[in-house]
Structure 1
Amino acid sequence: MTGLSLGTAPPVVTGIGVVAPNGLGVQEWWDATLRGESGIRLVPGYDAARYPSPLAGVVTGLDAAAMLPGRLLPQTDRVTRLALVAAQWAFEDSGADPAALPEYTTGVATSNATGGFEFTHREVRKLWTEGPGRVSVYESFAWFYAVNTGQISIRHGLRGPGSVLVADQAGGLDTFGQARRMLGKGAALVVSGGVESALDPWGLLSHHSGGRLSGVRDPARAYLPFDEAAAGHVPGEGGALLVVESASAAAARGARQVYGQLAGHASTFDPPPGSGRPPGLARAARLALAQAGVAPADVDVVFADAAARPALDDAEAAALEELFGPYGVPVTAPKTLTGRLTAGGPPLDVVAALLTLRHGLIPPTAHVERPVPRHRLDLVRGEPRPARVRTALVLARGHGGFNSALVVTAPPAAPDADRGSRTEEEGIA
C-alpha cells in the first residue's frame, strides 16, 4: 500500500513537539541525544524489579497540572496528557493559528497502540473493589486508542479530518502517510505523529506478552540493536507530534520555518511465515523512495527500526544491504537512549531526521560496542557524525508483520538568514 500522490510540492513540517524519556521539548531532547544521555531506568511507582524486564524509557519532569486546563486532568490518561503537551508545543513552534484557517481544513492523524492503560486499569480496579457507581464516566473514552486525536482536535479547534492508525511501531510512520493523503485532498494543516504510555503494572506486563523484551537489567546494556549481545528491546513512553502543512498553506501564512519535507511514504505487510516470500520492509522502502522521486544512491542516512532481536536485526540488515549495498549508507538508531516507544518512537526518529537535515549531525546509536559483522552496516556509533544530509529514510516495523517507510528531504530553499534568526530565537542549533 502506498500513499496517494499529491501532484504538487510535498507537505512540509513547520512545528515540532517532543516528550521523550531523555528530554522535554526539541532543544532538551536533541542536546541529550547528541550527548548520549539515556532515559532508560527502573519503572517508578511500584516494585517493577519483580518483573523479568523492569526497565523502560520513562518521561520525567513534566507537570501536566501546570500545563493543561484543570478540567482535562480527570478526563485523561497519562498518554493523552503527554500528547496534549506535545501538540501544544508543536503549535507554539510552528506559529500556526488554526483559527485563521478555513474551518474544515485542519485535522489530526495520530497513532497509538495501547490506549489509556493507567486510567482504565485504575477504573477497573474500582469496579472490582468499590462497585460500578465509583467508576469514572470518562472511562467511556479515556482508555480508547483514538482519544489523543479527539482531545487534540477539541482543544485546538481542528474540525477537519481526524484519524488514528494502529500498527504498533509502524503506525507512528503511517500517520505521516495519512497526513499526506489528507493534505492531498484539500486540508491545509494536520497534526501528525504518535505518543504512547503503558507502564503501569498491567501495561508493563502487556509489553512482556509480546516476547521481545530484554531481560538485561543494566540500562546501558539492555537494548543493543545490531550488536552481538542483542537480546530484545526496552519499552518506553513518549513520542512526538508535528505540525504538517501543505507547502502552499505554509507559504501563504509566512511560516517562520520549514524543517523539511515529507517526500514519500509507503507501508507493506509481511507474507505469512513459511510462504517463502521475503519480508516487506525493503519493498516499503523502495515504494517510499519511488514516491519521493529519489534513488537509493540519493539517501544520506537511514534511521533504522532496530528491533534488537537477532533474527529481526538480520532481516533489517539484509534489507538495507539489498537497497544500498554493503556499508552503502550511514545507519543509526538513536532510540537506544529511549527504548522502543511503540507508535511514539518512529515520529521521534522523524524529528531526529529533520534535525539531522538542518544541522548536518547524525546522532549515534548509543551503547552498541560489538556490531554483528555479517550485517555489513555503516552503523554510526560513539559520537555524532558530521555529514551533509539532504535525504533521510526512516523505517519502522510493527509486531505481526507491519512495515512502514518515510522519506524526509531538506526544504528546497531555506534562506540562511531566516534559519539563523530562528536558531538564535529557539536555541535549536
Structure 2
Amino acid sequence: MTRTLVTGIGVATPNGLGIDDFWAATRVGTNTIGPLTRFDPGGHTAPLAGEIRGFDPADHLPGRLIPQTDRITQLALLAADRAFTDAGITPGDLPAHTLGVVTAATTGGIEFSERELRKLFTQGPRHVSAYHSFATFHAAATGQLSIRNNTRGPAGVLVTDHAGGLDAIAHARRRIRAGTRLVLTGGVDASLCPWGWAAQLSTGLMSTATDPATAYLPFDDRARGYIPGEGGALLILEDEHSARARGAATIHGEIAGCAATMDPRPGTGREPGLRRALELALADAACRPGDVDVVFADAAGTPRLDREEADAITAVFGPRGVPVTAPKTMTGRLAAGSAPVDVVTAVLAMREGLIPPTTNVETSPHYALDLVTTTPRTACVDTALVLARGHGGFNSAVLIRSTS
C-alpha cells in the first residue's frame, strides 16, 4: 500500500506564526503562557492563557475575508498558506477534484458567535452580521480553506475535542489511500473569549494558578490542571507516488500508523482506552515499541488523567522505557490544534535530532516516565508517537516515521 507523506507544514501558535520562529522557541523551551489579554478575565477564576500576540489578520488575508471569518478560520487560512508554500505547491495548478481538506475543531467560531449574539441582545437583529449564519460552524474553516485553495475533493471536519487533530490526520490518510492525491489536514482552535472561557472552566480541568511558570505542570506532583491556548497546525499529506512524480522538494516524514478508541463508561472499572489506541497505532505501522524514539504526550495536567496516560505508556514501553515530552507546556493546550502542533514538532525533531523539553516540570517519580524536562535532549529521532485525549473519552494516536 502506498505511503502517506507529510510534504508541507504550517503553524500558527503562541510561540510562532511560522516554522522558523516556532521551532526557534520550541527547541529551547521558551514559555509563552501569560496573563490573558483578549478579554478581562476578572470575573473568572483562571487568569492565564497561551495567546497569539500581535496577530492582525489584515496583515495576512484579503480584506473581504476578515468580516466573514472567526479567529479560528483566520489562523487556519494563515497556516494553510504557509503549508502550501512549504510544500512548493500552488493549489490552483493541480486538478481541484484531486485535493481535499479535513480539519478538526472543538468549539467552532465561538468568539464570532458571542460577538454577534451580544449585538442581537443589545442592538437588535438588524445589527447581526449575515456571516453569522456560517462563520460559527465547526466546518467553517474547512469550507473557507476549500474555497481559498480551490479544493473540490473530499472535505470534512472532526469534532472529538483535543483528540480531533489526530483524528483529522487519520481520516486524511484514509482519503489518500482511497485515491485522493493531496489532503490539507490538521486543526486550529481559538476560544479565548468569555463564552469559551466559561465552557472550559465548567469541565473542572483548567488550572486556576496565577504564576505562568508553575501553572501547567503535567506529570508533576504540583499539577492542578491545564492552561488553554489558541492556534494549531495544518499539514499537507500526499500519496507517495504523486509527491515524487511532481518532484516534491521537501518530505518531512510519513504518517505510518493511526488509531482511535473510546474510554469505557465511567463506573465500569474497565481500563481507559488510551493504551489500546497506542498499541493499535503501533500495529498499524508494523512498528515495535523498541523502535519508537520519543512519545509526545497528551499531558492533561490533572493527577487522574496524567496517571492514566503514564500507565498506558509504561504498560507498552516499560518504566522509563522511552523518552516522553510535552512541549505544549510552553503554549498551553490548543484544543484540536495541540496534537497537530505535536506532529509538526515531531518532524522538526527528526530533522534536527533534538527532543524539545517539557518546561517547568519536576517529574514525579510516581509516574515512572523518562520525561524530557528543563533542557532539550539530543537524540536520533526516526520514529515518534503522538498521543491525544479528548473530554468525553476520546483517545487517538498517530505514529510518524522519518523517510530519510
Query: What's the TM-score once normalised by structure 2's chain length?
Result: 0.99
Are 1:231 and 2:234 matched, yes or no? no
| Deviation, structure 1 residue 49 | 3.4
Distance 1:88 1:119 in 2: 22
Question: Are 1:317 and 2:317 counterparts?
Answer: no
Structure-1 separation of matches of 2:150 and 2:226: 38
Q: Distance in 1 between matches of 2:161 and 2:265?
A: 18
Cα distance in 2 between the residues matched to 1:194 and 1:104: 22
Query: 1:62 and 2:55 equivalent?
Result: yes
Pick one of 396, 409, 427 that aligns with 2:401.
409
Structure-1 residue corresponding to 2:172: 179
Aligned equivalents of 1:215, 1:69: Cα separation in 2: 38
Asked whether the equivalents of residues 21 and 38 of structure 1 are also in contact (C-alpha less than 8 Å), the reply is no
1:374 pairs with 366, 371, 377, which one? 366
Equivalent residue for 2:8, pick from 1, 12, 15? 15
- Letter of the 2:388 partner, please give it: A
Of the three residues 64, 77, 84, the one matched with 1:91 is: 84
Task: Give the AA of the match of 2:194.
Answer: P
Aligned residues: 404
Residue by residue over 1:40-65, the C-alpha shift from the partner in whole angstroms, topping out at 9 and shown as x without a partner, is 11111432133211111101122210
Check if 1:167 corresponds to 2:160.
yes
The answer to whether 1:303 aligns with 2:296 is yes
Deviations 1:134-187 (A, max 9, x none): 111100000111100000000000110001000011011101100111101111
1:178 corresponds to which letter in structure 2? H
CA distance in 2, matches of 1:74, 1:389: 43
Matches within 5 A, 1:58-207: 58-207=51-200
Alignment partners' CA distance in 2, 1:382 and 1:322: 25
Q: Structure 2 CA distance, aligned partners of 1:75 and 1:249? A: 34
The amino acid of 2:262's aligned partner reads F
Instruction: Kindly provide the CA deviation profile for residues 17-42 of structure 1, in whole angstroms up to 9, marking residues without a partner as x.
Output: 11101111111011101222122111
Residue 325 of structure 2 is aligned to residue 332 of structure 1: yes
| Cα distance in 2, alignment partners of residues 218 and 342 from structure 1 | 21
Separation in structure 2 between the aligned mates of residue 385 and residue 50 of structure 1, nearest angstrom:
41
Q: Percent identity?
A: 56
Q: Deviations over 1:102-142 (max 9, x none)?
A: 33110001000111111111110111111111111100000
Summarize deviations over 1:396-427 as a string: whole Å, max 9, x none.
0000100000000001x4xxxxxxxxxxxxxx
Alpha-carbon distance in structure 1 between the residues aligned to 2:206 and 2:111: 20
For residues 188 and 106 of structure 1, what CA distance do their matches in structure 2 show? 6
Residue 390, structure 1, aligned to residue 386, structure 2: no
Matches for 1:202-281 after TM superposition, within 5 Å: 202-281=195-274
Rounded Cα–Cα distance in structure 2 between residues aligned with 1:28 and 1:226: 27
Residue in structure 1 matched with residue 279 of structure 2 by the alignment: 286
Answer whether contact 1:288 1:405 (CA < 8 A) is retained: yes
Runs of 4+ aligned structure 1 residues displaced above 6 Å come to none
Asked if the contact 1:304–1:332 (Cα under 8 Å) also holds between the matched residues in 2, the reply is: yes
In the TM superposition, residue 390 of structure 1 has moved relative to its aligned partner by: 0.8
2:352 equivalent in structure 1: 359
Task: Return the alpha-carbon distance in structure 1 between the equivalents of residues 93 and 130 of structure 2.
Answer: 34
Task: Return the alpha-carbon distance in structure 1 between the equivalents of residues 374 and 133 of structure 2.
Answer: 47
- Take 1:98 and 1:38, find their aligned partners in 2: how far apart are those partners? 35
Give the stretch that moved more between structures: 151-160 or 62-71: 62-71
| Offset of residue 276 of structure 1 | 2.3
Q: Alpha carbons of 1:255 and 1:328: their partners in 2 closer, same or farther (altered >3 Å)?
A: same
- Contact kept in structure 2, 1:170 and 1:346, CA below 8 Å: yes
The normalised TM-score by structure 1 is: 0.93
Q: Match of 1:3?
A: none
Q: 1:75-107 CA deviation, whole Å, 9 max, x = no partner?
A: 001111011000011111111132332331100
Residue aligned with 1:231, SS = coil
